[in-house]
Amino acid sequence: MNETVDIRELNDLIASKSNFVNMIKQGMDQSIVGQKHLVDSLLIALLANGHVLLEGVPGLAKTLAIKTLSSLINAKFSRIQFTPDLLPADVVGTMVYSIKKESFEVKKGPVFANFILADEINRAPAKVQSALLEAMQERQVTIGDNTFRLDDPFLVLATQNPIEQEGTYPLPEAQVDRFLMKVVIGYPSKTEESEIIKMNIGGERDAIRPLLSPAEIIETREVVRKIYIDEKIERYIVDIVFATRFPGDYGLKDLKNMINFGASPRASISMALAARAYAFLKGRGYVIPEDVRAICHDVMRHRIGLSYEAEANNIGADEIISEILDKIAVP
């Protein structure tokens, strides 16, 4: 009985706090046509305190999406264009000698912002990639003898271009695991494309006005952490993750030769966090199996190592995840 009362209280709390979701979505619609999945993914990552790896061809409003989101939240935005000649110091900062003071001073890099767009992250060498990924994981940067905490909220949207693979440095699997989600976006529909043309040839756009403050996002995260996850849902998440490691135990023997390595425990944590954030977007104080299924592909697709056999048969991580979701009993 107490549990029911708690759920009701949570639902009321979520209802009072989730008004800003519609406000942000309406604000995003001022600049972006379509790409609802991208907008939802950014909000999930923001509420779950995670980061997003985005894969899509150029021109799909990736930069515009995170820039608009940072403007709506009145937060600091920073864009880093990753290139083969980039150095770690270009991302995190370095020590610069001041002639006036006759001493070294810290010059902070572009990573010191609330929202970071790491554009074409696979174009930079591993040393630069790991500098950013370390900052993402530790939420701090060491320059010389000084350690600096990064701003909160801190969200990295790293993009990868799936077309051009020449002259790129693929992210190592262990480092890709640090992203809460890997989101794949496609082309807009014909209707959306027509809207995009009208929006971009109509002259000046209205300036984006801030609707929230970074402090309000931090407060909202505390509410998201209170969203109830039943033990059955937790077991469901664990079963999905374990099915990627031991497919034979779940009646998925065909997948055994398709998977080199399964998802890590970080996948289970990420799925629970993302499911909570998704439930919040839907205005609920509790997680249901549909929330887990909705975010499962984005959370898992970059955490499954495919075998040569899978690649030879043109079987991707998405097909494997779909097969697992079809097989695992829904609580």
State the residue range of the domain holding 259: 226-327
* 69 plus 194 within the same structural domain: yes
Q: Which two tokens stand for residue 310?
A: 């899978």
Picking from 291, 299, 239, the residue whose alpha carbon sits closest to that of residue 266 is 299
* 43 plus 87 within the same structural domain: yes
* 82 plus 189 within the same structural domain: yes
Mean pLDDT score, 258-269: 91
Mean pLDDT score, 282-301: 93
* 240 plus 281 within the same structural domain: yes
pLDDT, tens digit (0-9, with 9 covering 90-100), for 69-119 = 888 888 899 999 998 899 999 999 988 888 887 788 888 999 999 999 998
CATH number, domain of 70, equals: 3.40.50.300
* 241 plus 164 within the same structural domain: no
123: Cβ contacts below 8 Å, ≥ 6 apart: 82, 83, 84, 167, 168, 169
* 172 plus 262 within the same structural domain: no
Edge-to-edge strand ranges of the sheet holding 52-55 = 77-81, 115-119, 155-160, 52-55, 181-184
Domain count, the chain: 2
pLDDT, tens digit (0-9, with 9 covering 90-100), for 161-206 = 776 565 677 777 767 888 999 998 888 888 888 888 887 787 666 6
Q: Which two tokens stand for residue 50?
A: 């995670």
